Structure 1
Amino acid sequence: MEYRLLGETGFKVPVLSLGTATFGGSNDFFKAWGCTDADGARSLVDIALEAGVSMFDSADVYSDGMAEEILGKAIAGRRSQVIVSTKGTFQFGSEVNSVGSTRHHLTEAINGSLKRLNVDYIDIYQLHGFDALTRVEETLRTLDDFVRAGKIRVIGCSNFSGWHLMKSLAVSDREGLARHSVHQAYYSLAGRDFEHELMPLGLDQKVSTMVWSPLGWGRLTGRVRRGSPVPANSRLHKTADMGPPVADEYVYGIVDALDAVAKETGKSVPQIALNWLLQRPTVANVIVGARDEKQFRENLGSVGWSLSAEQIAALDKASTLPLPYPYWHQRGFAGRNPPPV
């Protein structure tokens, strides 16, 4: 398994990690993702470690804390073998202040995650979203205190805009506080907005990317095709309206290109989509989920080989959309504003 650095921390992570949104299934939204119990999770962790996938990503809101609890049971007795990543910020509990990136909520959230995971420290802790109602200084000082206390090793964020992330980095640099070294972001062949602002920022500021939903919210599994109904067991039936809006014909065009590459390589559609991501700038880790062992083993087949330059170009062409302003204007002056490479 290949390992890559997170930012400038010197800390390395495997290029794949196992996401735990499928653990628990405590409500209709997460049931659509999966309902893996403790025994099932333990089996997936066994497979992951055997393949060199030592990193596991969770969040406090995944199945109302159940995902963290199940992950904690699955890694029990082998803490030194695993890298644990989790997130907090969103509403957790019914209390009015049980939300946001305030010192109050983050303190409760981090301590709660440590307890549910049954660990003494979290390797990578990320803000699950930006809190515009709380001063960035308060948020970063709180995270810095946990880093200094040894309860968090690396901090990061998720779902930030470019200015959210850059403002946070500037405050950290100015105040001498722990710095976001990783941004967990939505990115896929069917969702390339990340490339406009966040990828160039990551290159400039040495912020690595962890990719969530790398198969475009379930659209690039190879089962969603032109002229065919969405499979009955696809989570798109229940969660499509909650995810990124994508035109059907755009997806079909990408799947056509993936099919062509699949014929050339002998790899599956999802394996090709994942491999494409692993060759993109700033990407250190791609989070793969799995309803069962078969699906997870297939995802593991996305590493250990590389697409050709011609195959990447074909996939790029099929998935490229017109750039919004000011990016289309900047591309007209590529000598001063080169695209990220």
Structure 2
Amino acid sequence: MEYRVVGRTGVRVSSLCLGTMTFGGEASEAESARIFEASVAAGVNFVDTADVYAGGRSEEIVGRLLAGRRDEFVLVSKVFGRKYPPPNAGGSSRRHIVRAVEDSLRRLGTDRLDFYLLHQFDADVPLEETLGALDDLVRRGLVLYVGASNFAAWQYMKALGISERDGLERFAVIQPMYNLVKRQAEVEILPMALAERLGVMTFSPLGAGLLTGRYAGEDPRGRLVENERYQRRYGLQSYVATAKRFVEYAHEAGVDPVTLAVAWCTSHPAVTAAIVGARTAAQVAPALAAAEFVLTPGMRAEVTALSPEVPLAHDRREEA
């Protein structure tokens, strides 16, 4: 396992981060423990969860798994989702953030989070209020570093600008979607992260399972078939065609498509870690194998060529 520094923090994390969205839902607590222990055995020290995963059960299970060895792990949770009765059921207001972090810490059985991320952008709350609330959490010692997930590049940059202007804690890490069929992060987000020295933990390296090849059979089962949101996200025929080419390439190269898909993500120079999750310990094994797989620059270029090129970031230099 390779360990990488998260942005400017000096914190070293495994190049694979264990995602726990399935814990307490699609994966029972017993199976979650098996997934966790397999990941630890592979060298993973980076764990990602969120207050909304399985209605809070994910955090509770993670807390029990970390009991007695909390300091061995770098722990991430996220805030935004709606867990309480309306009208103040979620979002990025100071009121919700303060309540949410206290609840997350209680469920996780810890006194602090290493990284605390906004789960998405909240257009109803000024970033000044949100960033001020996060800054207060850092000053109180409840959170060590802050960040955000699912922002557009301009939203990340606006937040960084406000933090610099107002002397607030700046984002240390971001969490964008990134995989072979969803490469939009390459346009602005990943170049921005390199320029600003932000840690990057990417999610959905397998495209909801599309890149595993398991949906090519006669009786496909899994998130992509069962979840309408994922069908909308990954149902384009161009994505399906890219996945088919990728799986064929992986088989010809003699490597599990899961291993190759994850290794492709972690090989991007902006990426600190790829988040890997599973319903079973057997499923997580080939993802963990990506940590030891050597993806040559030539092989990465061949894999990338299987996917249609994303538009280049447009800075108007060609119009000068």
Which TM-score band (shorter chain)? Answer: over 0.9
The separation in 2 between residues aligned to 1:47 and 1:35, in whole angstroms, is 14
- Post-superposition shift, 1:139? 0.8
Which amino acid is the alignment partner of residue 144 of structure 1? D
Which amino acid is the alignment partner of residue 242 of structure 2? G
Q: Does 1:253 align with 2:237?
A: no
The separation in 1 between residues aligned to 2:70 and 2:229, in whole angstroms, is 38
Contact 1:258 1:273 in 2 (8 A): no
Number of residue pairs the alignment of both structures matches: 319
Superimposed CA distance per residue, residues 166-192 of structure 1 (whole angstroms, 9 cap, x where no aligned partner)? 000001111111111111111100100
Structure 2: gaps (5+ residues): none
2:283 to 295, 300, 308: 295
- Post-superposition shift, 1:263? 2.5
CA pair 240-332 structure 1, distance change in 2 beyond 3 A: farther
Q: How does 1:227-238 map to 2 (within 5 A)?
A: 228-229=217-218, 231-232=220-221, 234-238=222-226
Q: How does 1:1-341 map to 2 (within 5 A)?
A: 1-25=1-25, 34-37=26-29, 39-225=30-216, 228-229=217-218, 231-232=220-221, 234-242=222-230, 244-264=233-253, 266-321=254-309, 323=311, 327=312, 330=315, 333=318
Q: Which has more helix, going by share of residues? A: 2
Contact 2:32 2:280 in 1 (8 A): no
Please say which of residues 246-255 and 293-302 is displaced more in the overlay: 246-255
Superimposed CA distance per residue, residues 286-321 of structure 1 (whole angstroms, 9 cap, x where no aligned partner)? 111111111112211111232222221221111123
Please say which of residues 176-185 and 312-321 is displaced more in the overlay: 312-321
The separation in 1 between residues aligned to 2:46 and 2:313, in whole angstroms, is 37
Contact 1:258 1:272 in 2 (8 A): no
Contact 1:17 1:288 in 2 (8 A): yes
- Post-superposition shift, 1:46? 2.0
Query: Partner of 1:301: helix, strand, or coil?
Result: helix
- Post-superposition shift, 1:253? 3.1
CA pair 249-166 structure 1, distance change in 2 beyond 3 A: closer
Which amino acid is the alignment partner of residue 255 of structure 1? K
CA pair 132-215 structure 1, distance change in 2 beyond 3 A: same
The runs of at least 4 aligned residues of structure 1 exceeding 4 Å deviation read 328-332
- Post-superposition shift, 1:329? 5.4
Superimposed CA distance per residue, residues 173-222 of structure 1 (whole angstroms, 9 cap, x where no aligned partner)? 11111111111111100100111111111111111211111111221112
The separation in 2 between residues aligned to 1:128 and 1:322, in whole angstroms, is 25
The separation in 1 between residues aligned to 2:65 and 2:252, in whole angstroms, is 37
CA pair 275-230 structure 1, distance change in 2 beyond 3 A: farther
Which amino acid is the alignment partner of residue 75 of structure 1? L
**TM-score, normalisation: structure 1:** 0.88
Contact 1:3 1:13 in 2 (8 A): yes
- Post-superposition shift, 1:138? 1.1
Query: Partner of 1:87: helix, strand, or coil?
Result: strand
Task: Give identity over the alignment, percent.
Answer: 36
Structure 1: gaps (5+ residues): 26-33, 337-341
The separation in 2 between residues aligned to 1:230 and 1:160, in whole angstroms, is 36
- Post-superposition shift, 1:333? 3.6
**TM-score, normalisation: structure 2:** 0.94
Contact 1:60 1:87 in 2 (8 A): yes
The separation in 2 between residues aligned to 1:2 and 1:122, in whole angstroms, is 23
